[in-house]
Structure 1
């Protein structure tokens, strides 16, 4: 097995053409080392604008190892970056905030700005999540949305920090609605809007997915036996030209359970019904144990049962900074055209 230094050098070499392409299109947020596929499981190295983020999930790095990796990356890029090291190897992927290996400079932990497809994004190297507010493996899907949103109404479900919504606005969408349960996520989405003042303002709805999408789809909202439903925003049934569905792997609320392995259809069905007759639904599944072919068949069968057969079904794979040795990356994205 190659040493860590050799593995990183090979990864940086393999990315030369991709990075030149990304820089030319106005992108400085990308993965420099995808350890699980490039020789060091549990280690990732990402660039987010002026920030270099190194994270270890299985085993802590020594200070010498960390600084050597950072130097290799900066030498390859020809830039000095602000280093943040998040050691998540101690349990439950939580950061060791005592920073026994490396204490980041205060400037590195400030809110910064990264760029993708020419857009400005708020990035934060250390917060409760595992990414600085922008999931890098979804870049190609955001690029597709940006290229195909002109004049459309767009619904961004499980919007997180609203990167898909921002891409749609940049692509000329006439209306963009971002829906997420967490106000903190939407607050960052609002920041992203402020960072791109030339774009049409987006809309934001804080709501659990199930009551919101079922209202939009014209379906009833049922309480579980013995449970009273909490308050939720009231929405009018309607359809959108482009709907983006990117749910987490698992989540539970008073309204229902998100379970990508056992029950993707409960998420998909109302999203299909909220998509216009000649519209587009983009759906994602980030579970590695779910095979693309099996999931695609399930999605197409669900659409057919609803009387909404597909005219086309495309796959959008992550870019080359997320290599997959078996050609089956965890993140799977389908573009469904009705």
Structure 2
């Protein structure tokens, strides 16, 4: 049984990338999304996304594909990849443990995401996510443009990609806070990998909602980034806990500054963030919602990653 034409993925972005690689074999190509089915812009293909982390083409399946789909599509993908000397990996998120299968080629024991001259260690294929989120690129670009000479607080830092970008862009200091010591350890490794000054970054393994005094002591900050999980049992639920972050802004940045409020919760629209700030930090003025990464089209913009820039006037303006 073969799949219908309607379920055929446009592989032209992958072919173009392979052509680019053949023209400049010594160049490391930026990591990127090549196909985004989850945005529901391609009916019937909501179950699949394709990413590129040189030399790996990662096909992620979020639900069981239609009968015959893999048999038809994977050989086309592998043919392109083999010609470029890349590996192809299929990960099945819909199976317990999200197992990955190397279909062709070899995956390096330690593999990397690439962003211009910067590199980021990726998680082993035994883990569900690779540890570097491609849809966050507009946020990284925003921070890169503002970080020079600034003190940055990176809350829910995970593997500290924001921090690497900020320090490389000239930030005076970045404080990374996350409850996972393992993730912060990878964050340290990312800084070391890029040869960044150790004195300009700090790593605090803290339960954020219970550690404000320790976080505040590292400040004051000029830029604050909120990038929490939408739901993490026992530590953070965005629908009720996001307001607790916003209320702390006057003590975290008493002299004012810029805030990047991130939210990756399809069930919560951007109005949720606007309300959080209006009710809990009215001195923070909304500036803009950052444009979404074009490689991540979505039939409903409010379901995709939301990145809102606010400007906080300072603690004196926030006082009643």
TM-score normalized by the length of structure 1: 0.77
Deviation digits for residues 240-290 of structure 1 (CA, Å, limit 9, x no counterpart): 11111100112244xxx4111234202322245312422111111111111
Deviation at 1:85, TM superposition (A): 1.2
Deviation at 1:90, TM superposition (A): 2.5
Measured at CA, do residues 270 and 335 of structure 1 come closer, stay the same or move farther in structure 2, by a change above 3 Å?
same
Deviation at 1:10, TM superposition (A): 6.9
SS of equivalent residue, structure 1 residue 261: helix
1:273 corresponds to 2:283: no
Cα distance in 1 between the residues matched to 2:94 and 2:215: 42
Cα distance in 1 between the residues matched to 2:194 and 2:280: 37
1:333 corresponds to 2:307: yes
| Aligned partners of 1:261 and 1:287 also within 8 Å | no
2:58 alignment partner, one of 25, 44, 53: 53
Q: Which residue of 2 aligns with 1:284?
A: 262
Deviation at 1:49, TM superposition (A): 2.4
Cα distance in 1 between the residues matched to 2:75 and 2:238: 39
Cα distance in 1 between the residues matched to 2:80 and 2:266: 28
**Mapping 1:85-96, distance limit 5 Å:** 85-91=90-96, 94-96=97-99
Cα distance in 2 between the residues matched to 1:27 and 1:329: 29
1:30 alignment partner, one of 25, 29, 32: 32
Deviation digits for residues 108-157 of structure 1 (CA, Å, limit 9, x no counterpart): 152112211431111235133x3211011101101111111000111111
Q: Which residue of 1 aligns with 2:222?
A: 241
Structure 1 portions without partners, runs of 5+: 218-235
| Aligned partners of 1:84 and 1:109 also within 8 Å | no
Measured at CA, do residues 185 and 198 of structure 1 come closer, stay the same or move farther in structure 2, by a change above 3 Å?
closer
Cα distance in 2 between the residues matched to 1:189 and 1:110: 18
SS of equivalent residue, structure 1 residue 141: helix
Q: Which residue of 2 aligns with 1:8?
A: 10
TM-score normalized by the length of structure 2: 0.81
Measured at CA, do residues 246 and 272 of structure 1 come closer, stay the same or move farther in structure 2, by a change above 3 Å?
farther
SS of equivalent residue, structure 1 residue 172: coil
**Mapping 1:102-181, distance limit 5 Å:** 103=103, 105=105, 107-108=106-107, 110-124=109-123, 126-128=125-127, 130-181=128-179
1:298 corresponds to 2:252: no
Cα distance in 2 between the residues matched to 1:87 and 1:196: 32
| Aligned partners of 1:109 and 1:126 also within 8 Å | no
Measured at CA, do residues 205 and 199 of structure 1 come closer, stay the same or move farther in structure 2, by a change above 3 Å?
same
Structure 2 portions without partners, runs of 5+: 313-320
Deviation at 1:299, TM superposition (A): 2.2
Q: Which residue of 1 aligns with 2:295?
A: 321
Deviation at 1:52, TM superposition (A): 1.0
Deviation digits for residues 200-224 of structure 1 (CA, Å, limit 9, x no counterpart): 652111111112235445xxxxxxx
Q: Which residue of 1 aligns with 2:318?
A: none
| Aligned partners of 2:147 and 2:166 also within 8 Å | yes
Cα distance in 1 between the residues matched to 2:109 and 2:250: 40
